[in-house]
Structure 1
Amino acid sequence: MKPTLPSWNNGPVRSAIEDFVSGVVAPGGPQFVAPSERIAVFDNDGTLWAEYPMFAQVCFSHEKLRELIVATPALAGKRAYKAMLAGDMAALKAMPKQEVFEPALAVHAGMTVPQFQADVAEWLGRSQHPRYQRGFDTCYYQPQVELLEYLRAHGFKTFIATGGGIEFVRAVSQRLYGIPPEQVIGSSTRAKFDFAGGHAEIVKLAELGSFDDRDEKPVNIELHIGRRPILAFGNSDGDLAMLRYVLGGKGPNLALLLRHDDDAREAAYDRDFHVSPLDQALDAAGKEGIHVVSMQRDWTRIFP
């Protein structure tokens, strides 16, 4: 028996998803898509798990930042580093996303990728989300996990395309979402190959490589996947280019935009969340065929 969508309410959005998938998998039908081309991409922060009032990776990096400042004191004068050191979430929320993520991506300079991922696992094992009072790694959205399983059961290959750090998300993607690390696209620091002592490792550097947000998302999707997805799911202006890229393809496609409008069960924010606003994308949705998913209306539950 194939997975269903038990945490999704009946309504136009669920119908759009099920009708789209039914058409894609119907052999000989006008909307049929070969399995090799059934590519779905999801944003992570705010789409697959909670991002409010601040991204999980930023909270994680706050603990590690002082070690980096000791090694590179000049960084303490940069405003994102200064705000993170002070725990000034209001200041961070007022900055562009790329600036907020700069220290979050830099704190593990000099570490190998396995060392970094071990740090992530250790932190997730003991840290609580400040708003929801539950482990950060239990703040993923149950309806989205069901949707990922539903898509895979119908021959889709599911990817993450996130503005968050690629190694950070790869550390949890298989366990939380069933998405293997090689199917995660994200922001990255530059790195180097190291063969010291006869051990071959990749070492992270404190230099931004690619910030996977806005127009960079479809560019990185093409670079890493080599196929245009036929389904995309995001939650902010940072995902609008990705949604447009999917809608611009030939054949059937589906673009979805999650709106956080449930302050009782999760949070209510959109245009006013400066660090990751839902503003331009919300205005574009009705005009461009993007389906807006309401947490309040379309989901029977939020967290597992």
Structure 2
Amino acid sequence: MKHALLFSAMLFGTIGAAHADDPLSTWNNTSSKQAIEQWVQNATNKDRSTFIPPEKRYVVFDNDGTLWPEAPLTFQLQFAVDEVKRLAPEHPEWKNDPVVSAVLNDDLKTVVASGEKGLIQLLELTHSNITTEEFNQRVSNWVDSHRDNRFGCRYDQMSYQPMRQLLDYLRENGFKTWIVSGGGIDFMRVVAEKMYGIPPEQVIGSFSLSEFSLTDNGTQLRKTMKGAFNDDAAAKPVAIHLFMGQRPVAAFGNSDGDLAMMQYTASNPDYKTFGLLVHHTDAEREYAYDSHPPASGKLVEGLSLAKEKGWAIVDMKHDWKTVFDPALCK
């Protein structure tokens, strides 16, 4: 028995050491992983012409579908749906609205079919006319109390483990990681640091203007829908310039909505850049889609453009050993 325990300790110690030696241990050794490692080695080796100074190592990641799932609904839309249900008893007049009625009847097809107009309507009901502190608390409460219907995990436990390792790997090599997403900037900032190690000031997303006022207790910012900026497609490079002030050297996305950001990055005149698209091909461990996504994340043009530009395409089914961290999402 003693010898068996000793052997087990040696075995698991060896496995642990191997895991420590491979910062991308949840990636299979395919061309995607090799491309990432080769680019990082080239970018961080001072003796190579491809060296990128640490102060220029800004890399950008889309969020929905790139760092966490966007099917069957994006997490933020699911939050809005759940908030409408929670708040509806206080607003009986809402039930006369077709989009709200669809939410209350769990008719998600109608909700999705309502498009941007319907989404804005739900956001106005659940994201505006409250203070920024109250909104942050609502998101925190939702994260603490709700779980994904299919996987049974809390939403803040559902980041893609291989992408989380990639974020850590890049930071360990001197890169500054940013989120650039169509998701709401305030929504993502509540969870981004805990989930990804990305602080609030490095999160860029869709936003609207808040209103400042003095109160008896000090000051407050109140959320509105004024000046709404949808950080998607061609708006992403605009937001990168506004918030970052320099062109990234690598971009990671999963849909045609990320192409402008990736093209903007690839056009960096000073450095050899890197691009990667996550292709959802794993219906068993996550979802499989490209041209016909459940709600968002259409990927058609990107698949052909990636070949032309030399961007890596991650096949989730074959390139990733795991999708979600089994220690978190059981």
The TM-score bracket by the shorter chain reads over 0.9
Question: Judging changes above 3 Å, is the alpha-carbon distance between structure 1 residues 23 and 245 closer, same or farther for their aligned structure 2 residues?
Answer: same
- The question of 1:232 aligning with 2:251 is answered yes
Deviation at 1:81, TM superposition (A): 4.7
| Cα displacement string for residues 264-302 of structure 1 (whole angstroms, at most 9, x for unaligned residues) | 111111110153311222232212222111101110000
193, 197, 203: which one aligns with 1:174 = 193
* Match 1:295 to one of 299, 311, 316: 316
> How far apart, CA to CA, are the structure 1 residues paired with 2:95 and 2:215?
28
Q: For 1:100 and 1:144, how far apart are their aligned partners in 2? A: 31
Greater shift after overlay, 59-68 or 293-302?
Answer: 59-68
Larger Rg: 2
Deviation (angstroms), 1:2: 7.9
2:177 matched residue in structure 1? 158
Q: 1:56 to 1:230 in 2, by over 3 A?
A: same
Corresponding residue of 2:155: 136
Q: State, as a whole percentage, how many aligned pairs show the same letter.
A: 36
Q: Which amino acid aligns with 1:102?
A: I
How has the CA–CA distance of structure 1 residues 127 and 74 changed in structure 2, closer, same or farther, with 3 Å as cutoff?
A: closer
The secondary structure found in structure 2 opposite 1:44 is coil
Q: Does 1:262 align with 2:282?
A: yes
Q: Name the structure 1 match of 2:123.
A: 105
User: Secondary structure of 2:207's match?
Assistant: strand
Q: State the SS of the aligned residue for 2:209.
A: strand
| Farther off after superposition, 183-192 or 150-159 | 183-192
Shift of 1:68: 7.6
Counterpart pick for 1:211 among 226, 230, 233: 230
Residue of structure 1 aligned with 2:64, choices 35, 45, 70: 45
Deviation at 1:82, TM superposition (A): 5.0
Among 14, 31, 54, the alignment partner of 2:50 is 31
- Segments of structure 2 that go 5 or more residues without pairing to the other structure are 1-19, 326-330
Alpha-carbon RMSD across the aligned residues, in angstroms, is: 2.2
Cα distance in 1 for partners of 2:34, 2:176 equals: 21
For 1:29-108, what aligned pairs fall within 5 Å after superposition?
Answer: 29-65=48-84, 67=87, 77=97, 80-81=99-100, 83-96=102-115, 98-99=116-117, 101-106=119-124, 107-108=126-127
**Structure 1: distance between partners of 2:31 and 2:94:** 53
Counterpart Cα distance in 1 of 2:273 and 2:324: 27
Q: Deviations over 1:33-91 (max 9, x none)?
A: 111110111111111011111111111111222648966958964x6555434432223
What are the superposed Cα offsets for residues 223-269 of structure 1, whole Å, 9 maximum, x if unpaired? 00001111111111111111111111122101100011001111111
Change (3 A) 1:216 1:241: same
Q: Distance in 1 between matches of 2:96 and 2:198?
A: 36
CA distance in 1, matches of 2:290, 2:298: 6
Provide the residue aligned with 2:297 in structure 1: 276
Count of residues in Structure 1 that have an aligned counterpart in Structure 2: 302
